[in-house]
Amino acid sequence: MTYRDITRNDKNPIKRLVQRRRLADALSLVGSDARPRTIIDFGAGDGELCKRLAARFRGARILCYEPVAWLRAEAAALVADTASVVIASRLDQLPAGEGDLVFCMEVFEHLPPRQTAEAIDAIDRVLADEGLAVIGVPLEVFAPALLKGLFRMARRYGEFDAVAGNVVRAVLGNPPGDRPVAEIAPGLPYHFHHLGFDHRRLRGQLEERFAILRTAGSPFRLLGTWLNSEVYYVLRKASSLIR
């Protein structure tokens, strides 16, 4: 089963809608006048966003960074006919300070604390002084947690994210902190369940390093973070705003 099969081609129409909208909504946060020279997709998954970026920003160099080998192989196959996309497997392949646009979609909810801090450091390192970063993560507390919890319990009751007690804690704004950790690849610890992730905590960490220019929800922009599946943060280096 491919990444596409469990996201954009999921058998459930609601999940398909959410997954297909999230990339389009992230792209819509970048102004039509943007002319980036270097774009980085940090944690690119199967490369779908990179393919869309190449179609929109013709002439830009697009770095498709994905450390997980099987996902990287899917990305390489998907963008094989797109010359502007370069596949990267290691952080040292990403040039420092050259990312005019940096996207990081559906990554942070999977990272344990140390890896979260390392990813924030890396995004800060590669983002250009006047560049923009778009960070997308799922909403897993309050009303969204209730809707997602009911959906998950209907599909696979009894798993960590499909147990009533854990769902209730997330709905009340106090998600369980003892999230299961496994490896998605050798040496890469990973939270496979979204439940337990708290976007508020990540936002606080991002605000220590960046200025948040905009916050937007998806797939229903007007509902903000109250009744949506995803939230996006548009960031710029804080130092670039005080010059």
Domains of the chain: 3-139+198-238 (3.40.50.150), 141-196 (no CATH)
Mean of all residue pLDDT scores within the chain? 96
d(CA 191, CA 107): 10
E strand spans, the chain = 38-42, 61-65, 85-88, 99-105, 127-138, 182-185, 188-190, 210-218, 230-237
**Mean pLDDT along residues 81-87:** 97
Q: What percent of the chain shows pLDDT beyond 70?
A: 99
Reference 137, options 119, 113, 162, 110; nearest CA is 110
**Mean pLDDT along residues 138-150:** 97
Q: Residue 242 has what pLDDT?
A: 60
The residue behind tokens 């960074």 is: 65
At 170-194, the pLDDT tens digits run 999 999 999 999 999 999 999 999 9
At 199-243, the pLDDT tens digits run 999 999 999 999 999 999 999 988 999 999 999 999 999 877 665
**Mean pLDDT along residues 65-72:** 98
Q: Residue 243 has what pLDDT?
A: 57
**Mean pLDDT along residues 30-51:** 97
